[in-house]
Amino acid sequence: MRGGLVFLCSIVIGFSAQGNPKASAPKRAAGSATVCAPRALKLKNCYLDLDKNKIHIWQDKIFLKDQIHRDLEPISLGANLVEWSLVRVVKKKNRGLLELALWSPPVGAGDVETLVWTLYEVENGALKKKLEKIIRRRKRTETKGYKYDKMIPHEIRVRQNQVVWRVGREEGNL
């Protein structure tokens, strides 16, 4: 009887978590970053918190809400995004940054998809796009897999009290 009760409880808990969008809640990573869970990336529906700001990324839109302001920012790649690779918020030098790495749809005769790394700064209840760079390319093969180019090294760091981005050999201040 006890085993049947445990099984029944696990079924009820499993069904209640499936319909809940918060079930794919963000995970805390090392440092001060919050990362979307893999399930949320696959569904293209992610909720993140950054101090008093609530961020909801859904399909091709970013919703930002603090206690006073609301902002809606379309994702520049549009509704035809193939796949989300990374969505996270990072706090660097008291500046809130939203970091997206999204695969764009195939273009050209070669049907090449590109991984676009985009940085937004969250400031005073508004999203401001700071950077958009291509960091990888891929092409679908006949075996339903992908052939990837080498990933271009990219990062955000603090150097001499400034937030600095770097993609390959390019770098700049935010």
Angle, CA of 129, 95 and 163, to the nearest 5°: 80
pLDDT of residue 149: 95
pLDDT of residue 23: 41
* Exposed e or buried b per residue across 140-149, where buried means at least 16 C-beta atoms within 10 angstroms of its C-beta: eeeeeeeeee
End-to-end CA, the chain: 62
- For residue 147, the Cα-to-chain-centroid distance in whole angstroms is 23
Distance CA 135, CA 157 (A): 17
* Alpha-helix residue ranges (DSSP H) falling in the chain: 2-18, 38-43
pLDDT in tens, 78-134: 667 789 999 999 998 888 999 999 999 888 788 899 999 999 999 888 999 999 999
* Mean pLDDT, range 43-62, rounded to an integer: 91
Predicted structure pTM score? 0.77
Q: Which of 44, 49, 48, 47 is nearest to 60 (CA)?
A: 44
pLDDT of residue 139: 92
The domain ranges of the chain are: 24-137
Instruction: State yes or no: pLDDT of 162 exceeds 60.
Output: yes
Distance CA 124, CA 115 (A): 29
Q: Which of 149, 157, 145 is nearest to 95 (CA)?
A: 157
Q: Which of 13-22, 44-53, 60-69, 149-158 has the lowest mean pLDDT?
A: 13-22
